[in-house]
Structure 1
Amino acid sequence: MESDPNHLRDPYKPDADEAELPDLECAICFCQFNNIFNTPKVLECKHTFCLECLARMNVKSVQPNTLQCPLCRAYTPLPDLGLPKLANDSTVLSYLPAAMQHVYSIRFNRTKGKLQVKRVPSSAPALTHTIRQSLDVGNPAGEGGEGSSARERSVLITILRSPLCKAFIMCTVAIMTIILIIVILVMHKPS
């Protein structure tokens, strides 16, 4: 049976070729993946983000040995040798230009909040002199001017964002509103 040439393609349904193409940019910063600081790292939940964004998340986390996926909230324990040792997304890397498929060796120093190029691979292109050797990703949680009050604020924000706490706050506001209306009605009641 031949397909009808007048039949319009559904614009919201991806073509077969498009459906298999991985996303080539980080879902957090929207930067294109590369082989240096924006290396595509895959978490245990199979979501992929760039190394720089994961380092920024880790630096601000009060749990330095795990990462929480910003999409599905699943936790990924970090490898013993640190954040850069998370698995690279080889599918994404395979779609990058050939010169970007050799990943640089990166060191993550959480206490200083820095990503640093440890060594340049011998197969790297001749453009290695243009590569930044380090990248600041911020001060670790609880350090660099952030005291225990910052940690307490972080815990409070986490609690306030929980569904149970939101429901409690909404109920409290509703009850206070009803009480206020009753007080207003009683005060304006003609004697």
Structure 2
Amino acid sequence: SYPFSKKIKFLKCAICFCQFNNVFNTPKVLQCKHTFCLECLARMNVKSTQPDTIQCPLCRAYTPLPNLGLPTLANDSTVLSYLPAAMQHVYSIRFNRNKGKLQVKRVPSSAPALTQTVSQTLDVGNPAGLEGHQGRDGGRERSLLITVLQTPLCKAFIMSLVAILIVVLTITIIFINKK
């Protein structure tokens, strides 16, 4: 049994820090035994250039995906057992990687009204390689330059380059004024 503070951490996804549930944040266990929510794994998969595997963000081990897709990865039954009784039943979810969507496949008639608490569809992003293309729902095109400039490494590089240019210009102006 877990002490209360460890139980709280144990019931949250290590990527998004959201509490696990029985819909989009279902606790899925990878072959390396690390557990993450379905939504985070779907977001990782949709951006991956290897759609048939998931790489664990903690240990970097690869887990091949089942033939029926990401939602059919094994649920972490230990985590589910700590959830309230009403959340012990996991909803059937479908993952459409090409559209970047998780969808509730079917809701059991005995389940509380899901539509009042959770959206039936969750957008997890554009698949790898399709970020710059316009989608059917009218999404704007993003240029490669804008995408590259928004990565943290490029921002740091550009800021460093600007700082160096300012120093060089300042030294040049001082040198010219002395002549």
Paired-residue identity, %: 77
Separation in 2 of the partners of 1:92 and 1:62?
30
Displacement of 1:128 after TM fit?
2.3
Change (3 A) 1:108 1:17: closer
Q: How many residues align?
A: 136
- Could you tell me which of 53, 68, 71 is aligned with 1:84? 71
- Could you tell me which of 25, 29, 51 is aligned with 1:64? 51
Q: Which has the larger radius of gyration?
A: 1
Displacement of 1:17 after TM fit?
4.2
Moved over 4 A (4+): 19-22
Which residue matches 1:10?
Answer: none
Instruction: Classify the secondary structure of the residue corresponding to 1:141.
Output: coil
- Could you tell me which of 74, 83, 95 is aligned with 2:82? 95
- Could you tell me which of 9, 20, 35 is aligned with 1:48? 35
Displacement of 1:145 after TM fit?
1.3
- Could you tell me which of 118, 128, 133 is aligned with 2:114? 128
Give the RMSD, CA atoms, in angstroms. Answer: 2.5
Which residue matches 2:62?
Answer: 75
Which residue matches 1:29?
Answer: 16
Which residue matches 1:18?
Answer: 3
Give 1:59's aligned amino acid.
V
Separation in 2 of the partners of 1:86 and 1:121?
20
Give 2:119's aligned amino acid.
R
Instruction: Classify the secondary structure of the residue corresponding to 1:108.
Output: strand
Give 1:18's aligned amino acid.
P
Structure 1: gaps spanning 5 or more residues: 1-15, 161-191
